[in-house]
Structure 1
């Protein structure tokens, strides 16, 4: 080899060592950068001697990176859910170990018990009203708080969508730079590091899959197959008014309700505020959570104002349905029929073409005696009876998901019914199968007459041969505004919450006397009739005219109680306390299923259920963040910078540089010797 060739080889070695040293220096400088993948110099021999850096490779582990992206999405979604549930728990108070809603119910219980003991006490009266106001105010506060959380979530969604679009555009921009750099033969590892940062931002927002193309570009899709970046970046659009999320890369009308977002910040936020039927019925954590809580508050408020004696709800979601026939829930011409007290009530309801759920509810409420309807807090058609047990029939029942089995009467009266009712009771224990004429003092042909404000005229029942106690119950319960049952001790109770109840035995015989009723002349003594200074309503709908209109947003005290122009009715104070304490209340739907509860128990079930969900969200967030950290560390161990290794590489390069420098120095000396020899 000539001296010139040797010098050329040595010079290329120095240049190569300088470049390799810069690579090591960059690695050391970025040792603490979590988004930096170490670079590795790849050497190649030159054709005529010498060495060069053929490529600067970027350390990578595609499998670990893919797993990390998945876990970034999961942990980001879990973290959002945890924060949202914490906000709900802070609203309810349970995050601080408090239970304001439950406490308000307990305050009402305490106040009513005090009023039961001292009905003449003005202070006890006032305490009842203060406690009742407390429940109304707390439900209103919770309702308003839910709205505030929702408003913030809506703002967050808009921000996240903007961040997503920016990150996708940035990935596309870096893709283009990588293509140009590759074509020019320049290393792309720094660009790939920058791109990985942006892809990680996308992974926080949505669960993704990535595909590297032969030209070095990276394509991104959601795990459900929606293109995010391919030949160009797609654009996601959020409409807060309609709560619809769309993408230029998908034909889906709404990525949220179609389930196209599997996890990440965007899925967590949008799922939390969903109000559709699928979300309400979902058992998945964080899906429809705000709407479920609203629904539970609606049902809790309604339970306090409900003055029906039996009820059942369908299973078909109908809330807001403007056309039941077009949506396929029912067909025109189908019917609903209702039997109360063994008698068919009214003409029934026939579904018309284009009827909305509001049309059906209105038809039931205006044409069917003893039966009322509403759309319950869970979005289902609810049928209520004023006369105890009842049966629903007709061809439309199945479409609404209504049971056609007999619906049992409440085992205990509701709070509102117990407060409003006028009532009378016998003292003789009975069974429903007892033949009336077999009772001492009762004979075939004896008559019982009853009336109320709704009937508008007295109804007379004549005891027939073979008539049983159930026959009597059915006869009374079939009449508007009347309710009869075998109450405590299995004695006959006859009640009405419509006002002006009158019961007498002015006709043949004295059957009511024989059954143990208190009869003055021919008239039964009626209890529960309000004084002129007393309100005959307690919890009501502030807007709307009937208890079935009650929701969390229009729930309140009767106006006369609220403005203190009338006082609390005290004649039914014992019955009211019994109703409040009775473990006969239940709530089912919208993520809750609880039964055999008193009213305080219902409120406790709502808050406890929320606490359990919040604890579950926190555990999931902690677990997923821990797993993400573990994956990040594993990836850093694989592709990150090891200072000890880099310092060892630097020492090797320094030694090689020193050796090469000595070679160059030797060659220079030889050149000088030749030059001197030539002189």
Structure 2
């Protein structure tokens, strides 16, 4: 080995040591920098002449476990989803309140029942009558406040989506920018490239908090980001996400896969070279904060609103809806019933039971009055009873139109409908053919007057109007009823109507008929509730008293909040465990860096010593000449 060869080898060692010292310095300086990955030098042996080997620097290595990084991003999405749900459900539980405390639906309802018990005992007492009205107002106000609290949470979820979309777009644009810079470096792995990769990974991690993603990296260090459903978000160019926030949230602002019917914001992706895609209707985002916000806004909180709306509707209908059995009627060999439709309101129901003698099956038919033909035909979900066969009939064209619709829809069953006089609807079997037998018929109509002569009364109203369960093109009247429910102003102006239900003849002041009816309907009577409340199923709906229903859905919300908190805590443990693993693999360990620094100092000194010795040899040769 010549002296020049030895000098070259020693100089390569010095250069490698200096480069390593620079990386150690960078590692130490960034020990607390989030997302910083520890760097080391890639060194290989190089041949120098016939003897010995120099050291060559081939690049900078990031101490990164890519499999662990992928797991961490997946759990980051899951933890963000779980945390958002846990926070919102805890707040929803706050809206409902502690069941054992005051200011809750259950507390207001119990006080309402207590006031009714007092009225039932002392119907002639003015203070007892006023007490019932005040308790009813408190009940209505509690439902109003609960609905407002739920809609505030839905508005917060909508705002969360909007903020998340802005953050996602920023991350996507930064990833695309860094992809272009990395491609310009030609796939090299020097220190500047490693720094760019660190920056890009931080933005990808930010994106993973917002939605579930997967990444693919090419030979030029460029990364393409996709959702787990396969939608490409960014490559060399970034797609753009947009969210058309709708402003104020109300119980009637609901998501629908049909964009013409949806009244809440949706997320649309616009691809760099054209084309758009609805990310919500296609369920393209399945985890992360955005998925949690969508789930809460469109399902969890919407269901909570449905629960209190159903409670308000059942409470209102229990007091105002009166079912009147049909009067037996015959016409020759035909038999059936006459039904008085004079009090039938939009949304009220005619019930007809008939036996199909061909099959031996009994059919329960619910004929619902509809004044808006745009909602026809109605589905069987228009009633809660799973055995009901629902038929919506447009009453806007008068009785002749009603008869035409009924006979057209049900003529094949053997039933025949007619109008013998006034507002009477007659339903008969087919007589001699005897294809069907009408076994029962009744009308459930909403009492509109406080002094109709019947103890039923519209104690609660829909923002001053009658609640009948009407179905229109805007949806069911039940939707949002809890936000609009109020006490009948006629009762507020004259509390005696809590007892007096007839003025001719005059109901005695001490009559308990109406008070007992109201108390029984609200404390003992059992009702069925829509499976859209999350209780029961379409085949076996939840059935119970109003108080049982309230306790059930409040308890369900409490259990959901507890389960969400446990899930979030579990996800956080998994995430923290993976983050600790990631830090031990890719983070900076100061002890290791200091030990490495001492090793580099020794190597630097040794290489410098070799160069010093070579200098002395050169000096000796020069002196000989």
TM norm structure 1: 0.67
Among 250, 267, 270, the residue aligned to 1:245: 267
Query: What is the deviation of 1:405?
Result: 8.3
SS at match of 1:50: strand
1:66 aligns with 70
Q: Deviation digits for residues 535-554 of structure 1, max 9, x if unmatched?
A: 95412223443432562233
Aligned ranges for residues 260-659 of structure 1 at < 5 Å?
260-274=284-298, 288-306=299-317, 307-308=320-321, 374=347, 384-385=349-350, 391-392=364-365, 399-400=379-380, 478=442, 536-548=457-469, 549=477, 551-564=481-494, 566-569=496-499, 570-582=512-524, 584-593=526-535, 595-659=542-606
Query: What is the deviation of 1:342?
Result: 7.4
Q: Deviation digits for residues 268-326 of structure 1, max 9, x if unmatched?
A: 1122212xxxxxxxxxxxxx112111211211111111133679xxxxxxxxxxxxxxx
Kindly tell me: are residues 538 and 262 of structure 1, through their superposed partners in 2, closer, same or farther at Cα, counting changes over 3 Å? same
1:486 aligns with none
Kindly tell me: are residues 112 and 236 of structure 1, through their superposed partners in 2, closer, same or farther at Cα, counting changes over 3 Å? same
SS at match of 1:138: helix
Contact 2:179 2:235 in 1 (8 A): no
1:361 aligns with none
SS at match of 1:41: strand
Among 206, 216, 219, the residue aligned to 2:221: 216
SS at match of 1:246: strand
SS at match of 2:278: coil
SS at match of 2:219: coil
User: How far apart, CA to CA, are the structure 1 residues paired with 2:615 and 2:346?
Assistant: 105
Query: What is the deviation of 1:192?
Result: 0.9
Q: Deviation digits for residues 593-645 of structure 1, max 9, x if unmatched?
A: 26443222222223222212211211111111111111111222222233333
TM norm structure 2: 0.72
1:24 aligns with 24
Relative contact order higher in (CA < 8 Å, ≥ 6 apart):
2
Kindly tell me: are residues 131 and 343 of structure 1, through their superposed partners in 2, closer, same or farther at Cα, counting changes over 3 Å? farther
Query: What is the deviation of 1:30?
Result: 2.8
RMSD: 3.8
User: How far apart, CA to CA, are the structure 1 residues paired with 2:565 and 2:164?
Assistant: 22
Query: What is the deviation of 1:167?
Result: 0.2
Q: Deviation digits for residues 638-676 of structure 1, max 9, x if unmatched?
A: 222333333332222221111112112222222333334
1:523 aligns with none
Q: Deviation digits for residues 38-76 of structure 1, max 9, x if unmatched?
A: 112121234435323221111222211111111111111
**Structure 2 segments unaligned to the other structure (5+ residues):** 247-263, 331-338, 355-362, 368-375, 390-420, 427-436, 470-476, 500-511, 537-541
SS at match of 1:40: strand
Aligned ranges for residues 118-157 of structure 1 at < 5 Å?
118-157=122-161
Kindly tell me: are residues 164 and 660 of structure 1, through their superposed partners in 2, closer, same or farther at Cα, counting changes over 3 Å? same
When the two structures are aligned, how many residues end up with a matched partner?
507
Kindly tell me: are residues 405 and 21 of structure 1, through their superposed partners in 2, closer, same or farther at Cα, counting changes over 3 Å? closer
SS at match of 1:553: helix
Among 150, 155, 180, the residue aligned to 2:184: 180
1:107 aligns with 111
**Structure 1 segments unaligned to the other structure (5+ residues):** 275-287, 312-338, 345-365, 375-382, 409-453, 460-469, 483-495, 502-527
Among 230, 235, 259, the residue aligned to 2:240: 235
Query: What is the deviation of 1:479?
Result: 7.5
Kindly tell me: are residues 498 and 657 of structure 1, through their superposed partners in 2, closer, same or farther at Cα, counting changes over 3 Å? closer
Kindly tell me: are residues 497 and 193 of structure 1, through their superposed partners in 2, closer, same or farther at Cα, counting changes over 3 Å? closer
